[in-house]
A and B are shown apart, each in its own frame.
Chain A
Amino acid sequence: MVKDIVLKTTNLRKSYGKTTAVDGIDLSFHTGEFVGLLGPNGAGKTTTIKMLSGLTKPTDGSITYFGLDFHSNQRFAKGVIGCVPQINNLDRDLTAYENMYHHALLYNVKDDSTNEKIMIALEFADLINYTHRQVKTFSGGTMRRLVIARALLHEPKLLFLDEPTVGLDPQIRRDIWDYILKVNQVKNTTILLTTHYIEEAERLCKRVLIINKGRIIAEGVPDTLKKDMGRYVLEVFKQEGIEERFFETRNEALASLKECQETCKIREVTLEDVFLKLTGRRIDA
């Protein structure tokens, strides 16, 4: 089945003076896809999201939504995207409902169904008990849920999630993951998620784009990207650092472990290893 191309970019570029933040990236997303943009801090992830959502203007290149140029069809394009920024940009003086209602007005959600839609969105986000509470009393995780619920209120075709779980504790992070997966599966919303958490990309994304220094350096299904490295890695802890040896099977890795004189550890290959091999540095370095 041929799916709609929701978003397509060609040679997208952003420079700030002599610094190039995004260096000519080509993206193409289909309906219902869950794509991860994985890279270290400063790789160009947030700048990419800012250009795609209209927060900043590209220096060069084109962006199209459903085949229509973003720049000349801004009203249409901005109406089909939802954006969850890194920072919880909620009005803290307003209640959850008031924040949602403000968003409903901005996105022209029809008056006769606004209230119902807000309540459904809050219910879906498990925030119904917070409806009339001021946002400044919320925890970080609750705020995060509300930001995502707000971005979904106008039923966008494409949702941008910029580091959605950064700064959250592990349990809240898993709750947010479940919520995001539900959005993708139940509503068939195309999702582009940026992250520097390996586990997040591996668990959520069907396709991963690895970005470094403003360029996409690898792209594919997480398992396939990892398989190209081998399935297991033997970490040898040497004085000069950790040496990594890759193997197709666990038995091969175990055989190598037996010959090892230093402290060694066997683990499964992760996307971090893919990134390390491609760039020579770690994502969190």
Chain B
Amino acid sequence: MLNGLKAVLYREYTVFRKRAVKQIISSSVPPLLFLIAFGWGLGRQVNVGDLPYISFLVPGLIAMNSLNQCFAISAEINIARFYFHTFDEYLIAPVSEYEVVLGLTIFGMFRGFLSTLIIFIYTLLFGVQLILNPVFFIALAMHAFIFSALAVTTSMLVQDHSGQNLVTSFVITPMIFLCGTFFPVDKLPTAFKYLVLALPLTYSTKVIRATLTGGAVQYGYIYVLLIYCIIFFITAIWTLKRVEA
């Protein structure tokens, strides 16, 4: 039972173990630069509501960095599909598509959590106070699940590496900048406000920020994230079923 899931996790874990140092270092640099530039540099002069900007920024950085790390698996799947053809092993093996998607998604989540741990270490160094509670971990898990499943879907839909770059440029990067990671969504022009309300990052960032800064959590957003989890997971399975080598 679940041999496909075990196989995917074994492969991802074994490869990660060998690349761990490089991957951890590479995922540590961007949030540090953001903290220095926007947290220390710009943020000392600015407040968002009652919060110092750096306290507002850290949850956004967690959302952004974990999203980036989760979504990065799409590039790796792409290389496995188009360059090394190792992904073909999953297509010809007697395993269900849902097991493969689940395995890849869980690994993406692991990377998302690891990047969050790195930011927590930074917050200790920068003296940022955060409140940890179970709702935060639930929200982060859903957030990581959604963007890992999206990464699998993307890697199944694109036909080459340039297609992958297009998705990053036109979907992921705008989402990161517009969905409340660096500034409140209500500061956006009305048209953009409606646009970002359709994107899952808006909701995960709000819940993550509310839990970490002691704000009021809107539990309706958790249900919205759950719906996104289901839709994105089913979509990933659907795209994998249709993929051909």
Taking Cβ atoms with an 8 Å cutoff, the residues of A that contact B are: 50, 53-57, 74-79, 81, 83, 85, 87, 89-94, 98, 101-103, 105-108
Contact = CB atoms under 8 A, between A and B. Distances in A.
Interface stretch (B4-12, B128-136, B141-149, B181-189): B4-12
B91 interface: yes
B170 interface: no
Contacts of B50: none
A79 B4 CA distance: 13
B92 interface: yes
10 contacts: A76-B94, A83-B92, A87-B85, A90-B84, A91-B15, A91-B86, A93-B18, A102-B14, A105-B6, A106-B4
A83 B93 CA distance: 10
Contacts of B34: none
B227 to A, nearest CB: 30
A130 to B, nearest CB: 17
A78 B85 contact: no
Contacts of B3: 105-108
Contacts of A76: 94
A78 B203 CA distance: 42
Given A54-B92, A108-B94, A102 B11 contact: yes
Nearest to B1: A108
A55 B94 contact: no
Interface centre among A54, A74, A76 (most CB of B within 10 A): A54
A229 B18 CA distance: 58
Contact of B92 (A53, A87, A94, A108): A53
Contacts of B6: 105
A107 B14 contact: no
Contacts of B88: 55, 85, 89
Interface string B84-102: 1110111111110000000
Contacts of B19: 93
A79 B89 contact: no
B238 to A, nearest CB: 15
A103 B94 CA distance: 11
B7 A102 contact: yes
B244 A55 contact: yes
A75 B10 contact: no
Nearest to B244: A56
A101 B7 CA distance: 9
B23 to A, nearest CB: 12
B84 A101 contact: no
Given A55-B244, A93-B18, A101-B10, A107 B94 contact: yes
A87 B85 CA distance: 8
Given A93-B15, A94-B14, 7 more contacts: A53-B92, A75-B94, A78-B93, A78-B94, A87-B85, A92-B84, A93-B19
Contacts of A89: 84-86, 88-89
Max chain B C-beta neighbours (<10 A), residue from A53, A79, A101, A106:
A106
A256 to B, nearest CB: 50
A275 to B, nearest CB: 28
B245 interface: yes
Interface string B4-46: 1011001100110011000000000000000000000000000
A253 to B, nearest CB: 47
A54 B14 CA distance: 27
- The 5 A-B residue pairs with the shortest CB-CB distance, nearest first, are A105-B7, A78-B94, A89-B85, A55-B245, A106-B93
B93 A91 contact: no
Identify which of A83, A102, A103 gathers the most chain B CB atoms within 10 Å of its CB: A102
A94 B15 contact: yes
Contacts of A77: 94
Contacts of A92: 84
B93 A98 contact: no
Contacts of B85: 85, 87, 89
Nearest to A87: B85
Given A55-B88, A102-B11, A107 B245 contact: no
Given A56-B244, A89-B86, A91-B84, A78 B92 contact: yes
